[in-house]
């Protein structure tokens, strides 16, 4: 079985195993609530709708106090939590502390659960510092290996972000300068690629702001502790921050993504401006580095089926179907935007700019689109796309051999709109549970980043998802959120790859028409 279908099978398996866990392992009363440290104990920060915590009547703002039940003879204190009407009456200092001033309190039960202790409350100097609590006990033990696997998989993906982004941009920009045909067809082709990707993003942006799948979604992710987005600053500030004062310290942080992109763009450009042999030496170095990074990405993505499995077991077992309602709405938004772009925007371009019959062109392109659907990879589909456009579409080899390989790497309309929707979806979610608002400036910024990400994404399965991690880092949003999107990514990947390939083929047709070729199917008008 190809990796492609394997992902889907493991995805379904993950949901099933998660659901079985959810049904067979009882959830304690506090499952579905999130807590923050509070001087009087802990305070409920968020309650997932429909979970046991909500049913037990926990509400945001409630304070629960820790009361020592017994002494285990060690430094660990066994405590339970009881509802407290007035937190101020019972200062935290009544809790005993160990000699180093820090006590770890184990919580056997929060409200009325009977589970084993799981969770830590740290106090220092009489103040509650931090609380971490597993959502439940028996289930948490069972879930630990899945959580571990999911965390490892995410860490492997994160590890790739900086080297992949750096090498792909430098190699890409430096490589463009070496294309011989660039002057002839280049301008038109680039204009088409940028225009369609931008149109796709705008459709996505409009839909996600209308449907608002992220508002109040029950995703169960923690609220932002520090302001994300980092774009409270004016646009000028953002530009200023994008210039790294020290590229090596920028490379050390996933959050300095903008600076890395900025430096990579400049480096790529100046490589083309440097006298030989230096320019091409360093270009080749980056090209090879990029190839190696891509191989590494392929290797990591081989683990995708198991990563998706682990993530889905974790999500479904902990919160059941609650997050899926929002995720389904998110998937619907992406699918609808893809449909509008491919069935409305691109056909209009074909009809009015290319003067051809969109329906006929679509029919002619079906082998390429079907291959895209079943491989989730524009690059793997490229040979089929080229053959289809040349033989069934009758576009000259001159045009296909320039536009299609370029298109398969940089023209990704489907990916572009998916990036935009995914990031705004998560921002909507974070905006509804934390204190930050998504400003117009942020949105414009996301559009720009989505465009860059679609250009930078490789034509391989899940490449768009890796780029999503890049955008989230650039915006200062936690990558944790992308894990949920990752879990349901494959079906969307199949659809967006179809749109990517469809847009490439439309581009080839339109360019060929503007070059005066009469080959591509019958024109609608004779003129």
> Where on the chain is the footprint of ligand ASP (CB under 6 A)?
376-378, 412, 415, 457, 459-464, 493, 496-497, 500
Other CB atoms within a 10 A radius of the CB of residue 437 amount to: 10
Is the distance from CB of 284 to CB of 274 less than 8 angstroms? no
* Least distance between ligand ASP and beta carbon 266 (Å): 26
Cα separation, 25 vs 28, in Å, equals 10
* Least distance between ligand ASP and beta carbon 407 (Å): 10
C-beta closer to ligand ASP: residue 247 or 410: 410
C-beta closer to ligand ASP: residue 356 or 457: 457
The 3-class SS string of 355-403 reads CECHHHHHHHHHHHHHHHHHHCCHHHHHHHHHHHHHHHCCCCHHHHHHH
C-beta closer to ligand ASP: residue 358 or 459: 459
C-beta closer to ligand ASP: residue 369 or 463: 463
C-beta closer to ligand ASP: residue 194 or 238: 194
Q: Nearest Cα to 46, choosing from 221, 209, 208?
A: 221
CA distances to 36, 75, 123, 126, 133 from 96, rounded to whole Å, are 20, 10, 9, 9, 20
Peptide bond into 277 cis (omega under 30): yes
Is the distance from CB of 457 to CB of 467 less than 8 angstroms? yes
C-beta closer to ligand ASP: residue 374 or 443: 374
* Least distance between ligand ASP and beta carbon 403 (Å): 15
C-beta closer to ligand ASP: residue 79 or 368: 368
Cα separation, 459 vs 457, in Å, equals 7
Is the distance from CB of 3 to CB of 302 less than 8 angstroms? yes
C-beta closer to ligand ASP: residue 18 or 464: 464
* Least distance between ligand ASP and beta carbon 338 (Å): 11
Of all residues in the shown chain, the one whose CB is closest to ligand ASP is: 464
* Least distance between ligand ASP and beta carbon 385 (Å): 11
Is the distance from CB of 230 to CB of 477 less than 8 angstroms? no
Chain CA centroid to CA 431, Å: 17
C-beta closer to ligand ASP: residue 28 or 459: 459
Cα separation, 261 vs 445, in Å, equals 14
Token representation of residue 60: 């945001």
Cα separation, 150 vs 311, in Å, equals 5
* Least distance between ligand ASP and beta carbon 313 (Å): 23
* Least distance between ligand ASP and beta carbon 392 (Å): 21
C-beta closer to ligand ASP: residue 139 or 496: 496
Q: What is the DSSP letter of 115?
A: P
C-beta closer to ligand ASP: residue 4 or 314: 4
Chain CA centroid to CA 393, Å: 35
* Least distance between ligand ASP and beta carbon 370 (Å): 14
C-beta closer to ligand ASP: residue 377 or 505: 377
* Least distance between ligand ASP and beta carbon 304 (Å): 11
Task: Output Rg (C-alpha) for the chain, integer angstroms.
Answer: 26
C-beta closer to ligand ASP: residue 30 or 193: 193
Question: Which pairs from 384-391 meet CB under 8 Å and 24+ separation?
Answer: 385/501, 385/504, 385/505, 388/364, 388/505, 389/365, 389/505, 389/508, 389/509
* Least distance between ligand ASP and beta carbon 501 (Å): 7
* Least distance between ligand ASP and beta carbon 425 (Å): 16
The helix (H) or strand (E) run that includes residue 64 is strand 63-71
Question: DSSP for 20-31?
Answer: HHHHHSPPPTTT
* Least distance between ligand ASP and beta carbon 276 (Å): 34
Q: Nearest Cα to 142, choosing from 104, 122, 113, 116?
A: 116
Q: Nearest Cα to 308, choosing from 2, 9, 1?
A: 9
CA distances to 180, 197, 289, 411 from 191, rounded to whole Å, are 18, 10, 29, 11
* Least distance between ligand ASP and beta carbon 309 (Å): 19
Is the distance from CB of 378 to CB of 504 less than 8 angstroms? yes
Q: Nearest Cα to 414, choosing from 336, 325, 348, 297?
A: 336
């Amino acid at each position: 079985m190809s990796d492609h279908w394997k992902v889907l099978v493991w995805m379904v398996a993950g949901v099933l195993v998660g659901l079985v866990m959810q049904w067979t392992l009882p959830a304690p009363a506090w499952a579905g609530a999130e807590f923050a440290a509070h001087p009087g104990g802990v305070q409920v920060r968020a309650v997932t709708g429909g979970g046991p915590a909500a049913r037990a009547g926990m509400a945001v703002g409630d304070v629960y106090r820790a009361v020592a039940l017994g002494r285990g003879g060690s430094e660990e204190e066994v405590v339970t939590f009881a509802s407290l009407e007035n937190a101020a009456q019972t200062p935290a200092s009544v809790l005993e502390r160990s000699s180093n001033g820090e006590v770890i309190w184990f919580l056997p039960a929060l409200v009325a659960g009977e589970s084993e202790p799981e969770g830590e409350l740290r106090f220092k100097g009489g103040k509650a510092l931090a609380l971490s609590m597993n959502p439940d006990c028996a289930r948490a033990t069972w879930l630990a290996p899945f959580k571990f696997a999911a965390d490892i998989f995410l860490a492997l993906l994160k590890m790739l972000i900086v080297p992949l982004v750096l090498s792909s941009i430098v190699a890409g920009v430096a490589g463009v300068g070496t294309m011989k045909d660039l002057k002839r067809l280049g301008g038109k082709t680039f204009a088409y690629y940028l225009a369609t990707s931008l149109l796709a993003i705008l459709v996505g942006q409009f839909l996600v702001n209308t449907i608002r799948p992220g508002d109040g979604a029950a995703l169960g992710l923690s609220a932002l502790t520090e302001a994300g987005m980092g774009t409270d600053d004016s646009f000028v500030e953002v530009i200023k921050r994008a210039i790294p004062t020290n590229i090596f310290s920028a490379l050390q942080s996933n959050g300095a993504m903008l600076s890395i992109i900025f430096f990579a763009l400049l480096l790529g450009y100046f490589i083309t401006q440097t006298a030989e042999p230096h320019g091409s030496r360093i270009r080749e170095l980056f090209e090879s580095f990029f190839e190696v990074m891509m191989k590494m990405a392929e290797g990591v993505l081989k683990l995708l089926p198991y990563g998706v499995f682990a993530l889905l077991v974790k999500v479904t077992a902990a919160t059941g179907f609650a997050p899926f309602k929002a995720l389904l709405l998110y998937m619907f938004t992406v699918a609808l935007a893809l449909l509008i772009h491919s069935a409305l925007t691109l056909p209009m371009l074909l009809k009015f700019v290319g003067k051809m019959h969109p329906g006929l062109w679509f029919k002619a392109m079906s082998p390429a689109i079907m291959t895209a659907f079943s491989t989730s990879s524009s690059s793997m589909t490229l040979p089929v796309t080229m053959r289809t456009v040349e033989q069934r579409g009758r576009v000259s080899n001159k045009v296909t051999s320039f536009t299609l390989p370029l298109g398969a790497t940089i023209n990704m309309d489907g990916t572009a709109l998916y990036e935009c929707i995914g990031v705004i979806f998560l921002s909507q979610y974070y905006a509804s549970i934390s204190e930050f608002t998504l400003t117009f400036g942020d949105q414009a910024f996301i559009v720009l980043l989505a465009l860059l990400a679609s250009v930078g994404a490789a034509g391989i399965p899940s490449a768009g998802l890796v780029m999503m991690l890049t955008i989230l880092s650039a915006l200062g949003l936690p990558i944790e959120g992308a894990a949920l999107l990752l879990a349901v990514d494959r079906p969307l990947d199949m659809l967006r790859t179809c749109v990517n390939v469809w847009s490439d083929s439309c581009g080839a047709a339109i360019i060929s028409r503007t070059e005066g070729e009469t080959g591509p199917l019958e024109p609608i008008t004779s003129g």
